[in-house]
């Protein structure tokens, strides 16, 4: 298998930056799920598809749009009716393809086309609110749920993966530009890159 390199290149510089008067408000990292895949059901097969994802990942998927779940080394969230973004360990895409029959739906491995960036910390919601017109409060955006949105022309799928943690999935070709925007948005609160 071809080894992937970070799309962030020289823009990824570990250290602390910005206003550090009260310490860094957020930590920025490149999340490294080995597999990022999209599973989509044919009409009438959504329940079977979500059952297959549950069997492979061990996650219990809620049915509501945007709903998702985190745990057991995998994450998944609904990105549309009968469609899920699933990320996790090596081999996940192959396991999904084996579990989802051709008459049930499709699995598309996005691992070489997407990057996952992570923002965590007490000011994560505030920093993300500077970039996206979404309500990031826990009541409106609980752990596990995901949203699809855009920052200027950069499409992003965001999942809250912890109380103060979000994973942002972007096209690899836009990852470096978005990373730089994320760093600029975090300067006011201070940030640590690791």
> Same domain for 104 and 41?
yes
Band (5; pLDDT cuts 50, 70, 90) = confident
In a domain, 118, yes or no: yes
> Same domain for 122 and 89?
no
Q: What is the 3-state secondary structure (H, E, C) of the chain?
A: CCCCCCCCHHHCCCEEECCCCCCCCEEEEEECCCEEEEEEECCCCHHHHHHHHHHHHCCCCCCCCCCEEEECCEEEEEEECCEEEEEECCCHHHHHHHHCCCCCEEEEECCCCEEEEEEECCCHHHHHHHHCCCCCCCCCCCCCCEEEEEECCEEEEEEEEECCEEEEEEEHHHHHHHHHHHHHHHCCCCEEEC
Q: Give the pLDDT confidence of 23-44 residue by residue, as tens digits.
A: 999 999 999 888 999 999 999 9
What is the extent of the structural domain holding 86?
35-109
Q: Which of 109, 136, 163 is the last residue of a domain?
A: 109
Q: What is the pTM of this model?
A: 0.92
> Same domain for 99 and 160?
no
Predicted local distance difference test score (pLDDT) of residue 153: 84
Q: Which CATH number characterizes residue 130's domain? A: 3.30.1360.120
Q: Give the pLDDT confidence of 69-128 residue by residue, as tens digits.
A: 888 789 999 888 899 999 999 899 999 999 999 999 999 999 999 999 999 999 999 999
pLDDT at 20 over 80: yes
């Amino acid at each position: 298998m071809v080894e992937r390199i970070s799309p962030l290149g020289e823009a990824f510089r570990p250290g602390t930056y910005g206003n550090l008067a009260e310490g860094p408000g957020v930590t920025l990292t490149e999340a490294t799920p080995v597999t990022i895949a999209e599973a989509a059901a044919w009409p009438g097969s959504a329940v079977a598809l979500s059952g297959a994802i549950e069997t492979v990942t061990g996650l219990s998927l809620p049915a509501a749009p945007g709903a998702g779940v985190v745990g057991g080394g995998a994450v998944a969230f609904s990105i549309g009716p009968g469609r899920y973004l699933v990320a996790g360990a090596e081999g996940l895409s192959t396991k999904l393809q084996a579990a989802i029959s051709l008459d049930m739906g499709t699995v598309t491995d996005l691992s070489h086309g997407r990057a996952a960036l992570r923002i965590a910390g007490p000011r994560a919601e505030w920093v993300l609110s500077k970039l996206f017109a979404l309500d990031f409060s826990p009541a409106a955006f609980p752990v596990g749920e995901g949203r699809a949105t855009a920052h200027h022309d950069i499409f992003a799928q965001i999942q809250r993966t912890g109380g103060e943690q979000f994973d942002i999935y972007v096209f690899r070709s836009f990852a470096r530009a978005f990373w730089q925007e994320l760093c600029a948005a975090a300067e006011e609160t201070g940030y640590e890159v690791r």
